[in-house]
Amino acid sequence: MSRSLRRGALAATAIVFSITALSACAAGNDAQTLGVKPDNAAVTVDDVKIQNALVITQPHEGVKGPAVVSATVFNNGSTPQTLDAITLPGTSATVKLTAAAGAAGPITVPPLGSVVIGGAGNATAVIENGTEAARKGDVQEVVFKLSKTGDVGLGAFVVPATSYFEEFGPSIVPAPPGATPTATASAEGEHGEGEGEHGAEPSGEATTAGH
């Protein structure tokens, strides 16, 4: 193959790759055909980067209970910083911070390190009056107040604690309205005991099934 023909083939290949890339971008971050999750909120200010910021609410509609802020906070500086508070402007919601060790109060972000907020064994940021957070599907402004960088704000998606968000959601999840499984189970237990007192002989099969 001549040198000119090889150059033409390479140029055609480059054009094909470019069109493919542009088509993928045009499909959007949440296109079902791509099979990827939407990008979560992220922002960088000075030495601090915050990514995957979310407000995670109760999994069931109409349930009153705490919500949480989940995020990863990076400190690219050479000295530690503390996350002193998280606020949700435009709401009366208050956020309680707890370090991974279980101590309430500021969360230390080590130099050249990061802190995960949300999930088992990690630091937590609980919105105690969670119903004050934005509705599911909205974007809620969240401000992270750091000791040296100051206020770092961004818009966080509001999602329910379901699917892959469940493990990062609120640890306290009240039962949905109208759900009374405990009362029903108690009533059945008392009824069963009454039958035993009236001479109903318990069967070995029932005992085995209970295990």
Q: What confidence tens digit (pLDDT) does each residue in 9-62 have?
A: 434 433 333 333 333 333 333 333 323 344 578 999 999 999 999 999 999 887
Contact 48, 153 (CB under 8 A): no
Integer Cα distance of 139 and 108 in angstroms = 27
Nearest CA to 164 among 70, 26, 34?
70
Size (the chain), residues = 211
Residue 1 DSSP symbol: -
pLDDT of residue 205: 42
Contact 52, 121 (CB under 8 A): no
pLDDT of residue 148: 96
Average pLDDT, the chain: 74
List, in sequence order, the alpha helices (H) in the chain: 3-27, 181-197, 204-210
Integer Cα distance of 195 and 30 in angstroms = 58
Q: For residue range 122-169, list pLDDT tens digits in order.
A: 999 999 887 777 777 789 999 999 999 999 999 999 999 999 899 999
Which residue would you say has higher pLDDT here, 181 or 66? 66
Give the angle 89-98-100 at the CA atoms, nearest 5°.
Answer: 130
